[in-house]
Amino acid sequence: MKAPRANRYRTAWAGDFRAADVGEEIRVAGWVHRRRDHGGLIFVDLRDRSGLLQLVFRPDEAPEAHAAAHGLRAEDVISASGALAHREEGTVNAELPTGEVELEVHAVDVLADADTPPFQVDEEEPVGEELRLRYRYLDIRKRRMTEALALRHDVARAMREALSAEGFLEVETPMLTRSTPEGARDFLVPSRHQQGSWYALPQSPQLFKQLLMVGGLERYFQIVRCFRDEDLRAERQPEFTQLDLEMSFVEEDDVIETCDRLLEAVLAVAGIGVSTPLERVTYDEVMLRYGSDRPDRRRGTEIGDLSEAFRGSEFNVFARALGDGGVVRGLKAAGDFPRRRFDDLTERAQGLGAKGLVWAVVEEDGWRSPVAKFLSRDEIDRATDSLGARTGDAILIVADRAEIAARVLGALRADVAPPAAAGQHDVFWVTDFPMFEWSEGESRWDPLHHPFTAPVGDLDGDPGTWRSRGYDVVMDGWEIGGGSIRINRIDVQRRVFEALGIGADEADERFGFLLEALRYGAPPHGGIAFGLDRIVALLAGRDSIREVIAFPKTATGWDPLTDAPAPVGDEQLRELGVSSRPRKGGR
């Protein structure tokens, strides 16, 4: 940090003093981190954002300051002046950058008193999340939070610098807008002037960035807040931040290579080196090998296809699955597998939609498994070999439709695979996604990305066979970015809407502005958005994005600090032309 201008509160940052500064007359300001009374002497660790500095109050040399120090409590705000001195022999603290020095205080001003804080700022003892968020400003005083927010700043700056250097322009897009479908519910804002009409907060700036491309801007980016009213999930926040970007006259390679350079610069902020070009893996391959489109590949185990090993098998379960066009896939796991664990895994597999789970333990002379008696020795050996399993390993097998086998084994893999080694990272692209997935619940196609993604395939044929020009980036088991080459032709856009069950009238009503823009010369374009919160959490080594957001909400979307959301008065609702009839559970 640049040195502050010397004023009545401070002449320098407390954390910056070293032995070479001894003898200087200085003034520092900050919070009472800790106070210790040693008979006559009082020691105070003063904290500002730069760090800690020990202050000494001596009764004989500065009786007034000493008396004031008596009354100091944790988190009081003070300014203290005096001379910087060496610490006495034997009291040097090697852990602290300022550990060789201390301030002999001559005078102290108490600038603000603090009540006893609800949790201690000077300790890393675990504090419940609700309490931390309720008093977030105290939580932010902790080193852990200050560091996370500083890293977040550095990441955002690296993004801005990397993209600016390549000619991208940062452009803001509206927060009060119309719905942008990204697969979640909208947050709505009522209009006072046009009662009965509502703005939607953007789920992403998707359509505006496409319009910027129609506007000839060529390269756009924005670090932008997005809002998605989703079902509660631990790793989601109703508002989150994206690095959003878009480019014109590009193909997949152009966007991906730009992002490789960008990610290299961003990861370097945390000292993480990656070799570029980042690896690209197709969706089909990643689903086959890991049963997930955002696997943590650092966790050794892979899924193997056993369909060939069991083709022609007389074991009913396998024969039926293969006969119906399904697959037999398996996973090997090392470790301790008492019977109960297999029962639990079987239950979990069934909960995820599998008809059952076949398990086995590899022994010297075959498998210990309830189904071993239905399998030939050849089948057993082929399956063991193709999974690379060794004596003592457990094997989990699902025979089902390919999507179900992938989903179930992917989930089981996450349960049984060994943990990733500390400090190891894995960043790669997933490409060649299907355009849609079938939503059983809604009986319709849902886009894997969003409806503006360019499809590939026979557009007159079955939408289930279309692929998309989408791509995702995965890091350490988290999807950190996703994007696509977009549709820039009106007929194709209409066809995709139609496949999604959005008729021409509805398309005109909801997306008329986009369809119209496509009539005025829309360049081929594509882009991507990265999840800033996730990236910073990964770089900071935190397991929750709430650790890297200054004022996050709880997993239920509640802000314990401001107590939002909150009811509003009748008058305010009347002005907006809104009446509210909460269902049970509202307030």
Residues that bind ligand ASP (CB under 6 A): 182, 204, 206, 449-450, 482-484, 527-529
Closer of 57 and 511 to ligand ASP (Cβ): 511
- Write down the residue that tokens 């059952």 correspond to: 356
Closer of 136 and 525 to ligand ASP (Cβ): 525
Closer of 304 and 527 to ligand ASP (Cβ): 527
Cβ at position 344, least distance to ligand ASP in Å = 35
CB 306 within 8 A of CB 455: no
1 contact partners, CB below 8 Å, separation of at least 6: 13, 49, 50
Residue type, 522: A
Whole-number Å distance between alpha carbons of 328 and 305: 6
Whole-number Å distance between alpha carbons of 265 and 243: 14
Cβ at position 533, least distance to ligand ASP in Å = 13
Which token pair is 75? 């988190």
Cβ at position 240, least distance to ligand ASP in Å = 10
Closer of 52 and 480 to ligand ASP (Cβ): 480
Cβ at position 169, least distance to ligand ASP in Å = 16
Closer of 463 and 483 to ligand ASP (Cβ): 483
Around Cβ 415, how many Cβ atoms within 10 Å?
Answer: 13
| Cis peptide bond upstream of 370, omega within 30 | no
DSSP letter at 399 equals: E
Cβ at position 511, least distance to ligand ASP in Å = 14
Q: How far apart are the first and last CA of the chain?
A: 46
Closer of 27 and 449 to ligand ASP (Cβ): 449
Cβ at position 480, least distance to ligand ASP in Å = 11
Three-class SS state of 140: coil
* Nearest alpha carbon to residue 428 among 294, 545, 290: 294
* Nearest alpha carbon to residue 54 among 102, 105, 99, 121: 102
Closer of 434 and 527 to ligand ASP (Cβ): 527
Whole-number Å distance between alpha carbons of 386 and 234: 37
Strand partners, 453: 486
Residue type, 68: A
Cβ at position 552, least distance to ligand ASP in Å = 19
Around Cβ 527, how many Cβ atoms within 10 Å?
Answer: 26
Closer of 182 and 264 to ligand ASP (Cβ): 182
Cβ at position 228, least distance to ligand ASP in Å = 9
Cβ at position 452, least distance to ligand ASP in Å = 7
CB 47 within 8 A of CB 76: no
Cβ at position 242, least distance to ligand ASP in Å = 6
> CB nearest ligand ASP: which residue?
204
Whole-number Å distance between alpha carbons of 245 and 529: 6
DSSP letter at 86 equals: E
Which token pair is 532? 């800033």
- The alpha carbons of the chain give a radius of gyration, in whole angstroms, of 30
Closer of 121 and 480 to ligand ASP (Cβ): 480
Whole-number Å distance between alpha carbons of 281 and 466: 18
CB 46 within 8 A of CB 36: no
Closer of 204 and 248 to ligand ASP (Cβ): 204
